[in-house]
Homo-oligomer: A and B are copies of this chain.
């Protein structure tokens, strides 16, 4: 496995650093963060809407989410969202798709408590079924919530306030439902990174990884030359380690005979046979070729090919 990252780390004691720097470390290092567009209502009945990216789900039975309105880093003042929740502990939390980012950004600026961000940011409202705050029709996914607990995380300038919410009602737009499922492409949600960066979580940014079904043998079970290969990387080893066991040498020989007999057309099978033929005359290059063939096969999802051809090198 190639060493790709510098081995050197900078160690930072948050107590020795200014708030701004600690905040930036969290914003960059904990990414991409989902965005909650949170609707609350004041005692006087004025709607409030604000986005938060210190937010996630935390359990499914019953369903819980949490988000964190921080005190101002400058003057320690509380956001309208927090003040409202202390009086009326109910909210609606909405997902934020790419199409809404500019309106959500507008809702994030500090309008006075007498102004509704629904109006300023041009959102249409829907009544909720269980709670008092209104819903944002423009979002495809709404969670009506009862606030169970507000946990102060420091109580000073820049400190968070964990708002722990139990979800009492979900609303899903039919437009993002595909055969009973909310697909990531239909949702087209955005995440928050550090600085001014956002991630659009759809299209080419998406990839899939199948969760191993059984118990993988583990990377520690792979032969040393595989683990220390300069061609195979962590992701390659992870796939190989997810296999249940190594094939024995009979199985390897049989597999290779099969590949030869098939008169291969795939590039990586050709490269492998080329390597096998050169093993005596030019062993260093030949082993390299076979490892590259295995790596390409792993990229194509052909784990069986990769493990068998690598194990062909194990008895040499």
Contact = CB atoms under 8 A, between A and B. Distances in A.
A142 B30 CA distance: 10
B216 A120 contact: yes
Given A106-B218, A220-B122, A238-B106, A68 B59 contact: yes
Contact of A184 (B19, B31, B55, B174): B31
A31 B218 contact: no
A50 to B, nearest CB: 13
Interface string A210-248: 111011101110000001000001111111011000000
A32 B32 contact: yes
A210 B5 CA distance: 31
Given A4-B99, A172-B12, A197-B206, A55 B56 contact: yes
Interface residues of A, number: 134
Interface of A: 1, 4-15, 19, 22-34, 53-66, 68, 70, 73, 95, 99-106, 108-111, 115, 119-122, 126, 129, 137-138, 140-143, 149, 151, 153-154, 156-162, 164, 167-177, 181-184, 187, 189, 191, 193-201, 204-212, 214-216, 218-220, 227, 233-239, 241-242
27 contacts: A4-B99, A5-B138, A5-B176, A6-B174, A7-B137, A8-B173, A10-B177, A12-B170, A25-B170, A31-B201, A32-B34, A54-B58, A61-B157, A61-B158, A66-B162, A99-B235, A100-B238, A102-B239, A105-B209, A109-B211, A109-B242, A151-B164, A162-B164, A184-B195, A196-B209, A197-B206, A205-B205
